[in-house]
Amino acid sequence: MQIISRDKVIYRFSPANPPVATVSPGEEFWVETRDCYSGQIKSAKDLRPHIDTSIMNAATGPIAIAGARPGDVLCVEIREIELAGYGIMPTNPGLGPLGERITAADTKIIPIEGGFAHFSPAIRLPLAPMVGVLGVAPPDGKIPCVTPGDHGANMDTTDIKAGSRVYLPVFVPGANLAVADLHACMGDGELSGTGIEIAGRVRLAAMLVSGLALAGPVVETEAAFLVVASGPEFRETARTAIARAADLIGKALAAPFPDAYRLVSAACDLKISQIVNPLLTVRVAIPKYLMPRLV
Ligand code: CA
Ligand code: CA
């Protein structure tokens, strides 16, 4: 099985990045990932303001999927997530929504053992491993890996976990997938600006889906399809996700727009993925009892 090394990274998603590996559709492979600080924080003495921020959010790849063409949809199946032995939660003045209440930078190292993140001797959190960054090359430009968008990237969406599938539009030949930023656990919103940041590796397979037109990412879990949208402002970003969800429902059920609009209201949940990246991310969950498959 191919193992894509965490030595091979990009800092921006761009059609100009040459692939470092090629996989066939359906072929299983491992992607090793750095933590979002590129391994610069190893102990409580390593403080976030002192690290080189230019190498943060390095994503492993790009990985070409043989035969992928613009207009296809890539389906990335997350089969397994392995975490390193410890996670990191640094904070510093100004970080996250309450950053003005932090007076000095400090770093917490969090051991991972026995299915838990050991936050302190008295507080342990059940592991809920997830992938923060998963994306493909956009059609043009150079988008820093920290910025989410219709090409995926830093969506920080808790549903992107083992057993899930992430559907992404393909913009360039090969799609050029890159992956980064595992979290041992994180709540919706990523409310202090970080999850439990951690290195590790992810076992994936990527398939090509034809006859499906997606404007942006969709995540599939056991129970739902989640339409993911990112943007600078909450109301407009929510509107984008709601519109895309209503359009998918309308198409899947051959329902006129007023009924699709009613169904998105009666059966779907709007959830906040993260509010701390350069663009915020939301998702609308369409239950599978309503829409069993993407069309
Ligand atoms: Ca992230
Ligand atoms: Ca992160």
Residue 277 Cα to ligand 1 midpoint, Å, equals 7
273 domain-assigned:
no
Is residue 88, in this structure, part of any structural domain at all?
A: yes
Ion ligand 1: residues, CB within 5 A, are: 132, 154, 156, 181
Sign of the Cα torsion 128, 281, 144, 146 reads negative
Q: Is residue 159 part of a domain?
A: no
Could you give the CA distance from residue 84 to residue 61 in angstroms, rounded to a whole number? 19
How many other β-carbons are positioned within 10 Å of the β-carbon of residue 262?
13
What's the distance, CA 133 to chain centroid?
A: 4
Helix (H, G, I), strand (E, B) or coil at 278: coil
Assess if residue 61 is contained within a domain.
yes
245: Cβ–Cβ under 8 A, 6 or more apart, which residues? 227, 264, 268, 284, 286
Pairing of the two strands 59-65 and 21-23:
parallel
Q: CA–CA separation, 35 vs 188, rounded Å? A: 19
Q: Are 178 and 32 in contact (CB under 8 A)?
A: no
Q: Could you please report the per-residue DSSP string of 174-213?
A: T--EEEEEEES---TB-TTS---EE-EEEEEEEEEE-S--
Could you say which ligand is closest to the alpha carbon of residue 197? 2
Kindly report the CATH number assigned to the domain that includes residue 108. Answer: 2.60.120.580
Instruction: List the domain range (segments joined by +) for residue 32.
Output: 2-141+171-210
In tens, the pLDDT along 179-212 reads 999 999 999 999 999 999 999 999 999 999 988 9
**272 in any annotated domain:** no
Residue 253 lies in a domain: no
**Cα 86 to middle of ligand 1, angstroms:** 17
Number of domains in the chain: 1
Question: Residues in the chain, how many?
Answer: 295
Kindly give the confidence (pLDDT) of every residue in the chain, 295 residues in length, as a single tens digit, with 9 standing for 90 and above. Answer: 999 999 999 999 999 999 999 999 999 999 999 999 999 999 999 999 999 999 999 999 999 999 999 999 999 999 999 999 999 999 999 999 999 999 999 999 999 999 999 999 999 999 999 999 999 999 999 999 999 999 999 999 999 999 999 999 999 999 999 999 999 999 999 999 999 999 999 999 999 998 898 999 999 999 999 999 999 999 999 999 999 999 999 999 999 999 999 999 999 999 999 999 999 999 999 999 999 999 8
Opening angle at CA 32, ends 28 and 149, nearest 5: 85
Residues 109-148 pLDDT 10s: 999 999 999 999 999 999 999 999 999 999 999 999 999 9
Assess if residue 46 is contained within a domain. yes
- Spatial CA neighbour of 202 closest among 168, 229, 177: 177
Distance, CA 156 to ligand 1 centroid (Å)? 5
